Amino acid sequence: MARALEFTILTAARTGETIGARWNEFDLLDRTWTVPAERMKAGREHRVPLSVRALSILEEMRAHRSADDSFVFPGGKPGKPISNMAFLMLLRRTGRGDGDLTTHGFRSSFRDWVAERTNFPSEVAELALAHAIRNPVEAAYRRGDMFEKRRRLMQQWATFCTTAPAQETASNVAALRRMG
């Protein structure tokens, strides 16, 4: 269950997209996950570039795969995925599921991180989140999916998520005196 949540965070996916993920949606050689239109909120197929860490989670899950299970993150019952409550229960067990931390909030964190910590255009972030283009004129003209830009973005996001913050040392911290 923890690997499913981590995978969701790393791919900026919605909970249902991860829960319903099936092995036949993945091209591990091309490092791509293609979520079918019927499982997407906007009703359009969505290609997700996979980071190195997301791929390693898939390899880990594949090593534990039973022959009759098509779900990447199988539930307790054969042929069923994990529950849509699985992530909430996991967060509660860590002491963080009381509303201050939600699975969907990681998508929001991803969007904030792109805007505040990268130079990627807003359109790349919106495509990574599979958000629909509301402006009909813009939607008519934007036909590409900026996949290679999104591939670089998702690898940077994975690096950000999996790298511990630098520890401040006495050599680069100056004490502030109380003014006044």
Burial (CB count within 10 angstroms: exposed 0-12, middle 13-18, buried 19+), residue 126: middle
107 tagged catalytic: yes
Sorted by where each starts, the structural domains of the chain and their CATH numbers stand as: 2-161 (1.10.443.10)
- Tell me which of 14, 31, 53, 150 is the catalytic residue: 14
Q: How far apart are CA 95 and CA 122, in angstroms?
A: 33
* pLDDT tens per residue, range 67-115: 667 899 998 888 888 988 888 888 888 876 566 788 888 999 999 999 9
* Whole-number pLDDT of residue 105: 84
Strand order in the sheet with 46-49: 26-27, 32-35, 46-49
Rounded distance, CA 129 to CA 13, Å? 7
Angle in degrees, 0-180, between the axes of helices 147-162 and 103-117, rounded to the nearest 10: 110
131 is catalytic: yes
Reply yes or no on whether 77 is catalytic. no
DSSP 3-state of 109: helix
Number of residues assigned to the chain: 180
Residue 180 pLDDT > 50, yes or no? no
In this prediction, residue 133 has a pLDDT band, given cuts at 50, 70 and 90, of low
pTM, rounded to two decimals: 0.84
Nearest-CA neighbor of 152 among 49, 71, 59, 36?
Answer: 49
> To 10 degrees, what angle do helices 103-117 and 86-93 make?
80
Q: List the one residue out of 165, 150, 164 whose CA is nearest residue 118.
A: 150
Question: How many whole angstroms separate alpha carbon 70 and alpha carbon 82?
Answer: 12
Q: What percent of the chain has pLDDT over 90?
A: 49
What average pLDDT is seen over the chain? 85
Give the active site residue among 44, 65, 80, 104: 104
